[in-house]
């Protein structure tokens, strides 16, 4: 039963992520057609991630309090409603924000369900499958979304609606699994206090704390890279349209699949912290965008970025799920992770928007973000190493 349940989970995640990534390029093209300024395109991401921050205290309660397969189904319904609102001509920023609400509720359930289905020693492998499914969806989603958006934005949005329907049908097929921490009347009003307790508990745990910081930095720079590529391609390669930026995002996804597959073969749960070295290298490679002026070079470089990213983030995700499951419940741990990750994404994409609005070139922005990311990862690696030494002495 668990194997079949895992297949439905991976299938639902694949089609939901496929829709998410195709929708982004449909939304970008819609914003352009509605004559919003070019610098406002990253603001789409701001509307999306704000839901993760606002709902963070409640998303974990929701995921842990009900059968996680049903939570995935309900959350996909909200994503479907947001995409339909966009297709109906409503404000694209608000509609994309509704998709963000669905995604915020969906995320703790899709990751939290893994610890319900597999033992701890297989969590890195299960995370690798989840990330592989997600990244394959990103690869196909960005390519299809960019291509369809260049043809007709209505094609892209119709495609997205169909995918969300398929994801919902697969989610409803996930067998009912007993809630990790069953919801009871009056629990929701106490959610903020419980979330605060979970946040303090995870922050006090060394491995949970540094895992959250590492994954937050990764997704922050990842979100920024998506929009940076949209601006960098016409600036550096003199090619317009959505197709090439989407394809480059797809090449990044291929790299992440490779990195995610290598990570569990090289690192174990107790050595997951060593993946941060890949983060230091990742930032350096991003900075090399300043030297690229050929399409093939761009494909090669972003594939390397992806491989380093996959190797970097998968072990940290698995470690956080293990510690979260032991300390506060997996759903609550992922909700805390979502708060941290999306807060960093909000800050980084906001900084990118400010730089873009201020006239800083995409090449200069790539250098700045790449070097900053490397420095932050280096600090994180040194701090974690020092913390482990202190713990060893105290033991």
CATH classification at residue 218: 1.20.1250.20
Domain that holds residue 163: 2-394
Which pLDDT value is given to residue 44?
86
- Total domains in the fold of the chain: 1
Which pLDDT value is given to residue 181?
66
pTM of this structure: 0.76
Residues of the chain with pLDDT under 70: 1-3, 120-121, 124, 178-188, 330-331, 391-395
> How many Å apart are CA 384 and CA 381, to the nearest integer?
5
Which pLDDT value is given to residue 392?
62
Distances (CA, A) of 134 to 41, 129, 257, 364: 24, 8, 9, 30
SS3 47: helix
Which pLDDT value is given to residue 227?
82
User: In this structure, are residues 156 and 27 in contact, taking their beta carbons and an 8 Å threshold?
Assistant: no
Which pLDDT value is given to residue 183?
63
Kindly give, in sequence order, each residue whose CB lies less than 8 Å from that of residue 188, ignoring residues fewer than 6 positions away. Answer: 58, 61
Span between the terminal Cα atoms of the chain, in Å = 42
pLDDT in tens, 110-136: 777 777 777 766 776 777 778 778 777
User: In this structure, are residues 102 and 79 in contact, taking their beta carbons and an 8 Å threshold?
Assistant: yes
Residue whose pair of structure tokens reads 């966009």 in the numeric block: 86
Phi, psi of 268 (to 5 degrees): -105, 175
């Amino acid at each position: 039963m668990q194997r079949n349940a895992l297949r439905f989970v991976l299938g639902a995640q694949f089609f939901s992520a496929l829709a998410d990534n195709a929708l982004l390029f449909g939304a970008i093209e819609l914003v352009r057609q509605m004559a919003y300024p070019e610098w406002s395109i990253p603001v789409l991401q701001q509307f999306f991630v704000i839901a993760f921050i606002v709902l963070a205290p409640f998303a974990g309660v929701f995921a842990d309090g009900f059968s996680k397969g049903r939570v995935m189904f309900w959350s996909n319904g909200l994503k479907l409603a947001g995409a339909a609102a966009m297709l109906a001509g409503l404000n694209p920023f608000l509609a994309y924000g509704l998709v963000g609400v669905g995604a915020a509720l969906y995320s703790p359930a899709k990751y939290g369900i893994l610890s319900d289905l597999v033992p701890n020693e297989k969590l890195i492998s299960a995370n690798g499958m989840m990330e592989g499914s997600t990244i394959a969806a990103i690869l196909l989603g960005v390519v299809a979304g960019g291509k369809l958006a260049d043809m007709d934005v209505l094609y892209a949005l119709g495609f997205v609606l169909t995918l969300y329907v398929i994801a919902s049908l697969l989610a409803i097929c996930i067998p009912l699994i007993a809630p990790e921490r069953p919801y009871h009347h009056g629990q929701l009003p106490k959610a903020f206090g419980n979330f605060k307790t979970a946040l303090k508990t995870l922050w006090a745990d060394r491995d949970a704390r540094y895992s959250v910081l590492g994954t937050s930095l990764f997704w922050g720079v990842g979100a920024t890279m998506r929009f940076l590529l949209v601006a960098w391609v016409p600036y550096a390669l003199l090619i317009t349209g959505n197709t090439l930026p989407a394809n480059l995002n797809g090449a990044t996804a291929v790299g992440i699949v490779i990195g995610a597959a290598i990570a569990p073969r090289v690192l174990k749960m107790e050595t997951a912290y060593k993946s941060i070295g890949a983060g230091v290298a990742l930032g350096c490679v991003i900075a090399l965008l300043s030297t690229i002026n050929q399409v093939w070079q761009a494909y090669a470089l972003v594939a390397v970025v992806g491989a380093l990213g996959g190797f970097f983030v998968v072990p940290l995700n698995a470690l956080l799920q293990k510690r979260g499951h032991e300390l506060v419940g997996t759903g609550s741990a992922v909700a805390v992770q979502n708060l941290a990750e999306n807060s960093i994404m909000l800050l980084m994409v906001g900084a990118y928007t400010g730089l873009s609005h201020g006239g800083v070139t995409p090449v200069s922005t790539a250098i700045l973000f790449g070097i900053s990311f490397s420095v932050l990862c280096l600090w994180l690696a040194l701090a974690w190493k020092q913390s482990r030494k202190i713990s060893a002495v105290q033991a």
